[in-house]
Homo-oligomer: A and B are copies of this chain.
């Protein structure tokens, strides 16, 4: 397992691999790997000769009052976990290498980033699309792997790849959950025992919404109210947003129809958690 810290060095390594005809999969992460990440690494290692895991807690995607400093970091642990999941190389660089003095170029997806998390975290997606573009240019992968947990991120990146004519296939992998339904996240480590107990309310709310739709409910507002009510039952939970949107535009919808994203952001204590489900409703009218 190779660990690279410098852009020039990993670029050289990749070029050597590509000269030998090897295919490259990239799994971009902020480290502190959990089973969600590991599922992406495993998937990539099945589909590519080389799997590069990038580990970089990207400052430009954190807002001023967010958890950049506090975000958990443990490279040694990550290297071991990535290796076990069949990664071939780690690219773990520092902010000075990625954003040297004078840095000033940003990639922005204009409309899709205005909804959901984009509304609550201005600048967040510009940071994400910029770092992902940079990683794509450094690693030059055939395929890149993202988790469905960050549903909006996956949709935004797919749009960016299409718009900028990047010759990379984006693979989105299912959410990996704890046995009680909580979506795996590096931020789950922030939760106290009581907060951890209450954090199941996200998945539970999504399951209630799904059941309502299966039972015939088609009014988004009714479903949202039910989700909100359920979340408010938890003493430590504070709703950031409850969204039911069209999966292509991420615009809020009134009537459940076609491909729909139900997405939540909820603060449990000080920890902001997100979760989502996608479903397709094709009623015959």
Contact = CB atoms under 8 A, between A and B. Distances in A.
A23 interface: no
Chain A contact residues: helix, strand, loop or mixed:
mixed
B104 A107 contact: no
A107 B106 contact: yes
A170 to B, nearest CB: 14
A163 interface: yes
Interface stretch (A108-116, A220-228, A236-244): A108-116
A2 interface: no
A138 interface: yes
Contacts of A102: 159
Nearest to A103: B163
26 contacts: A102-B159, A103-B163, A104-B109, A104-B110, A104-B111, A104-B159, A104-B163, A105-B107, A105-B108, A105-B110, A105-B160, A105-B164, A106-B107, A106-B108, A106-B110, A107-B107, A107-B108, A108-B108, A130-B164, A133-B164, A134-B163, A134-B165, A137-B164, A137-B166, A137-B167, A140-B167
Interface residues on A, range: 20 to 34
Number of copies of this protein chain within its complex: 2
Contact of A105 (B11, B104, B138, B163): B163
Nearest to A126: B108
A28 to B, nearest CB: 14
Interface string A137-175: 110100000000000000000011001111100000000
Interface of A: 7, 11, 102-112, 129-130, 133-134, 137-138, 140, 159-160, 163-167
A107 B7 CA distance: 21
Nearest to A130: B164
